[in-house]
Chain A
């Protein structure tokens, strides 16, 4: 056993690297193996994405992968943006504390928005109810029992106005919603809302998820078939390039694909394939990559393994930057510097829900250390119902504590240079690229949907995860360790009983008081846009301003493009 080492004059010289590799191998084969003989490893140490975790990482791991600081990491705000897309990151441009919220009907939801802003939320993303998300008005038969349940009911511009009553939208950092299958409608509503208040698009910032492609595999609120849905989403980006270049009209999502089982590397790859599809549509319409890419964000997700979370965000920024530059020829920094939205989670359990506060805090910390730009955070009871005021306040405070206490955000990319994290970042990047190559070989985004590759990856992963929990290989406190029955008395959040009645009444008043002819003409213009392929947002904007409803506009789309057909395989 060597106890003395001769000091090397240059640690990174090849001889020094060989010595370190040799000593690391010795330690593992002699000391660690001996330790294992007395104390076997507790379980296999494999991440959810399948990367085996070694007992120890050393400079030898970096050397083996050919790690080069300047080309692999560089500096924040500079290509390839591995360490961060903003120059100062959390020191000068801290991540935006964001809340995803909505329930019931607009006026009661408005009161929650006021509270959220009071508690420190800087961005509000409206959670919409399922009828609205699926293009149905609150009084449609398909809306039965669903109005205001998972989000707020939004049937017309009147609801949007009520939602932001008393809120100066130009003073909130960002406002927005998901609107994945109704992108042009919600974009138009935000545009009309500002216009009504005498604001120009440059005065406020709108953020839309507007990523229909992932719905078909992983979320299920699609209305139309995938191809026209993607076109409508791209129209929103095009409209913003032309009229509101400071807005964020499309966030390509990883999270639903990962939550559904795909694992973060494969889910990231499918999301990238989706992003490529939207970009291709926009380039075909004559827009340039330098105009389009800055308006696209991504929503990464890794909630099983803390260090993989950090590695995934770093790898994703690097992959995006190289993709924009090498495949699409981007030249502007903003086109290659990817902004990321994240939603803090852990492996939340149903038993002893307060434990989820700790889980969610650690998961959110991973995202912050990974350099996320916009951070949402789950409430501890989110697995069971819409969050209560208390639980959402705790969530926001958790985020604020991460932002300001413990020194977590005092320096940029604090885990950069960690032998483990750099090794993981390289491995995760390789996984993402390999999976993206598979997705492209399968034919790209639309084929990943209808050829079943996306659902297969999700199903395989979901089954694998279930087995890992059932076997104990993936420890889960109160589920397979110290198992508890989820029988803690729990007060589920309930929407007020008169909500549906109130919402339908407002809808009736809107229909009665609007100019019927103006609505009729506007809907004809929507029909025309369906036929001509002209940007759907322009026609939708006029319809929205005339108080046409979500259902009325979506119905025109359905009648032209058809409805999606649900898959029955499993």
Chain B
């Protein structure tokens, strides 16, 4: 596989939630799976996440959120991306997200939610097939 076709992933923490162990384990796992991964660090605003995603020209944004503010923050990120011409850039999410919110997130334009405990291989596999779904 050439350098150009390596998947580029932005792993992001949005809002005030300070738990990033899971995000960093996933980031490391995706790196080990051969992807290029950028981690935003804590406490990014939706605007900062969008800016980072566009500047880094990533193929997918993975957002980790455990604070309960997922619906508001994720739908805002989707809206900002769409407004800036990046409607094709998929968002996946993980963290502490109640089951019944998953359909709501899907409606808001989140491509997939990975609940805690999902093997990294499953996430890596999903990401690597993202281009097939475009």
Task: Say yes or no: is A462 at the interface (Cβ < 8 Å to chain B).
Answer: yes
Given known contacts A220-B19, A385-B68, what 11 new A-B pairs fall within 8 Å (CB)?
A: A130-B18, A143-B16, A149-B69, A350-B116, A383-B116, A462-B25, A463-B28, A466-B25, A470-B119, A486-B117, A566-B42
A149 to B31, CA, bound (A): 33
A260 to B39, CA, bound (A): 17
In the complex, identify which listed stretch (B81-89, B94-102, B125-133) lies at the interface while the others stay far away. B94-102
A150 to B43, CA, bound (A): 15
Interface of chain A residues 356 through 414 with chain B (CB within 8 A): 383-386
A299 to B43, CA, bound (A): 26
A146 to B45, CA, bound (A): 12
A33 to B56, CA, bound (A): 58
A261 to B98, CA, bound (A): 24
Q: Determine whether the beta carbon of A215 is less than 8 Å from that of B99.
A: no
Q: Determine whether the beta carbon of B117 is less than 8 Å from that of A479.
A: yes
Q: Determine whether the beta carbon of A145 is less than 8 Å from that of B72.
A: yes
With a 10 A CB-CB cut-off, give which of A134, A220, A462, A487 has the most chain B CB atoms: A220
With a 10 A CB-CB cut-off, give which of B29, B69, B116 has the most chain A CB atoms: B69
Q: Determine whether the beta carbon of A566 is less than 8 Å from that of B25.
A: no
Q: Mark A491-506, 1 if CB is under 8 A from B, else 0.
A: 1100000000000000
A479 to B45, CA, bound (A): 34
- Among residues of B, the one whose C-beta sits closest to the C-beta of A132 is B16
Nearest 4 CB-CB pairings of A with B: A220-B18, A566-B41, A145-B72, A492-B98
Q: In which size bucket is the chain A interface?
A: 35 or more
Known: A130-B16, A131-B16. A569 touches B39 (CB 8 A): yes
- Among residues of B, the one whose C-beta sits closest to the C-beta of A144 is B72
Chain A residues near B115: list those with CB within 8 A. Answer: 350, 486
Q: Mark B98-109, 1 if CB is under 8 A from A, else 0.
A: 111100000000
Chain A residues near B119: list those with CB within 8 A. Answer: 470
Q: Mark B25-60, 1 if CB is under 8 A from A, else 0.
A: 101110100000111111101000000000000000
Chain A residues near B45: list those with CB within 8 A. Answer: 142
A131 to B67, CA, bound (A): 11
Number of interface residues of B (CB under 8 A): 39
Known: A145-B73, A149-B69, A479-B117. A487 touches B99 (CB 8 A): yes
The residue from B27, B38, B67 contacting A130, defined by CB atoms under 8 A apart:
B67
- Among residues of B, the one whose C-beta sits closest to the C-beta of A567 is B41
Residues of A within 8 A of B (CB): 130-131, 133-134, 136, 142-146, 149-150, 215, 218-222, 259-261, 349-350, 383-386, 458-459, 462-463, 466, 470, 479, 486-487, 489-492, 566-570
With a 10 A CB-CB cut-off, give which of B31, B39, B43, B68 has the most chain A CB atoms: B68
Chain B residues near A222: list those with CB within 8 A. Answer: 18
Chain A residues near B37: list those with CB within 8 A. Answer: 570
Q: Determine whether the beta carbon of B28 is less than 8 Å from that of A570.
A: yes
Q: Determine whether the beta carbon of B69 is less than 8 Å from that of A260.
A: no
Chain A residues near B124: list those with CB within 8 A. Answer: none
- How far does the Cβ of A546 sit from chain B's closest Cβ, in whole Å? 26
A536 to B41, CA, bound (A): 30
A386 to B96, CA, bound (A): 11
Known: A142-B16, A385-B96, A568-B40. A149 touches B68 (CB 8 A): yes
Q: Determine whether the beta carbon of A486 is less than 8 Å from that of B99.
A: yes
Known: A350-B117, A566-B43. A134 touches B16 (CB 8 A): yes
Chain A residues near B99: list those with CB within 8 A. Answer: 486-487, 489-490, 492
Chain A residues near B7: list those with CB within 8 A. Answer: none
Task: Say yes or no: is B24 at the interface (Cβ < 8 Å to chain A).
Answer: yes
Chain A residues near B18: list those with CB within 8 A. Answer: 130, 215, 219-222
A150 to B18, CA, bound (A): 12
Chain A residues near B98: list those with CB within 8 A. Answer: 384-385, 490, 492
List, sorted by A's number, 19 A–B pairs whose CB atoms are closer than 8 Å.
Answer: A142-B16, A145-B69, A145-B72, A146-B15, A215-B18, A220-B20, A261-B21, A261-B25, A383-B96, A386-B68, A458-B21, A459-B24, A463-B29, A466-B25, A486-B117, A490-B98, A566-B42, A568-B41, A570-B39
With a 10 A CB-CB cut-off, give which of B18, B19, B20, B96 has the most chain A CB atoms: B18
A383 to B95, CA, bound (A): 10
The residue from A220, A463, A568 contacting B17, defined by CB atoms under 8 A apart:
A220
